Amino acid sequence: MKAYSRPEIAEAVFYDASGNVIQYGNRYEYLDRVDELTHEQTNQERFLPIFVVAQGLLDYLQAEYDVELIDGAPDRKNSDVYSNTNTAHLTRIVKVKPAASNQPSIWIGFSSALGMVEVRAGLFSTFDMWFCGCDRCDDNWWDVADSLESVILAIAKKGLTEHVDKLPWGRARYWLHPDRSSEWSGSIPRSWSKDRFASERMILRELPNEVWEGFTGRNI
């Protein structure tokens, strides 16, 4: 299997009012006063490389794993995991659907906010690549891209774990790593219908230890 490599990024250069290159992600190192930065969101195009990386990951998964990409607008055809969620902020959702039923689907949602993506997987796992984008926070695109690559490639290689509490007031829990470590894990309120609760518990019971497997490589 070919190793993943990040797509080449034609990174834009931005200048301040004095004609100096703005060193995003490192501005606190050279500014005399932190209060020179405001919460204004300027030059948001600097986050566009995140979309390029997201597309590169989709292309890689399609080339190297036995999956199908279902691409389109945020409608029910390719976004069933979003069926009870407002998708007005998304302009595109791509579903990565594996051939095997014991492997988790992945959805990558592209937001109308430049560079903002969210990842969903399995039945309810959620990995939002959120960032503020204001000048004072001084976010950079490559940290977000690192996180996006880490999550997508981990799911493709090793799957993920999901669990639904039995109690009526329980939660739906998920873990990216097989050892159920806290990194990239979470839980959401289980405010579902009885039918959905029963259906998802049945699906998870069929998985060994409620663990989805990683994707099957195309060359295997």
Backbone phi, then psi, for 11, in 5-degree steps? -75, 130
Can you give the C-alpha Rg of the chain in angstroms? 19
Q: What is the pLDDT of residue 113?
A: 92
What is the chain's pLDDT, residue by residue, as a tens digit (220 residues)? Answer: 899 999 999 888 888 888 888 888 776 666 555 556 666 777 889 999 999 999 999 999 999 999 999 997 676 555 567 666 778 889 999 999 999 999 999 999 999 999 999 999 999 999 989 888 887 788 899 999 999 999 999 999 999 999 998 876 778 899 998 888 888 999 887 777 778 788 888 999 999 999 999 999 997 5
Furthest C-alpha separation in the chain: 62
- What span, in angstroms and rounded, lies between the C-alpha atoms of 33 and 166? 54
Q: What is the pTM of this model?
A: 0.88
- What span, in angstroms and rounded, lies between the C-alpha atoms of 69 and 72? 10
Element (H, E) at 163: strand 160-164
